[in-house]
């Protein structure tokens, strides 16, 4: 069930702080998404390519779909023209595939580099060494149809606030450093961090985009 009063309060809170909300609708029905749409929400996040492709034609055209989950190289071609931002670019080869396919379709893809900030091995993202490789590889200079809009990260799944705070602050610091050194362009301006359990902490640490699912739509099965 969609929590409408929570949504309205959240939107007020985020608007005051100039933070954008990605409503994470994975596993939720088209009807539930429409309920939030009718309250004014336009950005929805999904973690599966097939789910976006299935839901998108059934919903209004002015929804911005964000892919927030792992993207396999062989699905890039299918999805890039359907999403306005991919949060989860976590390897050079994936970035190169997005560039190649965007060029051949004649479109521009907007992406975030996902950074590995959590302690868990299971979470994806560039490590510091992999980022260094990316900068040395010359890949960035060759991008013509892919725009790097910022960074995304997922904190450790823990009740320890200090750990989460350190991870978010570290990502904010990396964002500021990369902006100063590698991405001076104005459009490098998105820092996507924070979910239902930790979005307030993420905003305190400098997030300007949060990805919230269960607090809006109820728990997933």
Q: Which residues bind ligand PLP (CB under 6 A)?
A: 24, 26, 47, 68-69, 154, 195-197, 211-214
> Closest distance between ligand PLP and the C-beta of residue 137, in Å?
25
Q: Which is nearer to ligand PLP, 170 or 197 (CB)?
A: 197
Task: Tell me how far, at minimum, the Cβ of 47 lies from ligand PLP, in Å.
Answer: 4
Contacts of 53 (CB under 8 A, 6+ apart): 78, 79, 82
Assigned token pair, 95: 């970035």
Spatial separation of the C-alpha atoms in residues 59 and 127, rounded to whole Å: 37
Cβ atoms of residues 95 and 111 within 8 Å: yes
CA gap 98, 109 in Å, rounded: 7
What's the token pair of residue 153?
A: 């990260």
Nearest approach, Cβ of residue 24 and ligand PLP (Å): 4
> Least CB distance from residue 173 to ligand PLP, whole Å?
21
Query: Which pairs count as long-range contacts for 163-166, CB under 8 Å and 24+ apart, including other chains?
Result: 163/119, 164/198, 164/201, 165/201, 165/204, 165/205
Which residue's CB is nearer to ligand PLP, number 45 or number 143?
A: 45
- Residue among 197 and 206 whose Cβ is closer to ligand PLP: 197
Q: Which is nearer to ligand PLP, 182 or 197 (CB)?
A: 197
């Amino acid at each position: 069930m969609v929590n409408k009063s929570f949504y309205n309060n959240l939107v007020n809170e985020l608007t005051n702080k100039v933070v954008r909300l990605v409503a994470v609708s994975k596993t939720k029905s088209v009807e539930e998404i429409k309920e939030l749409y009718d309250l004014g929400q336009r950005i929805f996040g999904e973690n599966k390519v097939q789910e976006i492709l299935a839901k998108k034609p059934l919903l209004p055209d002015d929804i911005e779909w964000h892919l927030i989950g792992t993207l396999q190289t062989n699905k890039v071609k299918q999805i890039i023209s359907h999403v306005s931002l991919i949060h989860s670019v976590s390897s050079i080869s994936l970035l190169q595939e997005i560039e190649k396919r965007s060029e051949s379709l004649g479109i521009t893809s907007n992406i975030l580099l996902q950074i590995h900030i959590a302690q868990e091995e299971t979470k994806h993202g560039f490590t510091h060494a992999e980022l260094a490789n990316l900068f040395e590889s010359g890949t960035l200079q060759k991008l013509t149809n892919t725009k790097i809009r910022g960074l995304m990260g997922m904190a450790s799944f823990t009740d320890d606030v200090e750990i989460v705070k350190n991870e978010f602050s570290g990502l904010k610091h990396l964002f500021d450093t990369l902006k100063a050194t590698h991405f001076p362009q104005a459009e490098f301006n998105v820092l996507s961090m924070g979910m239902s359990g930790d979005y307030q902490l993420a905003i305190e640490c400098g997030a300007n985009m949060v990805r919230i699912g269960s607090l809006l739509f109820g728990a997933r099965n």
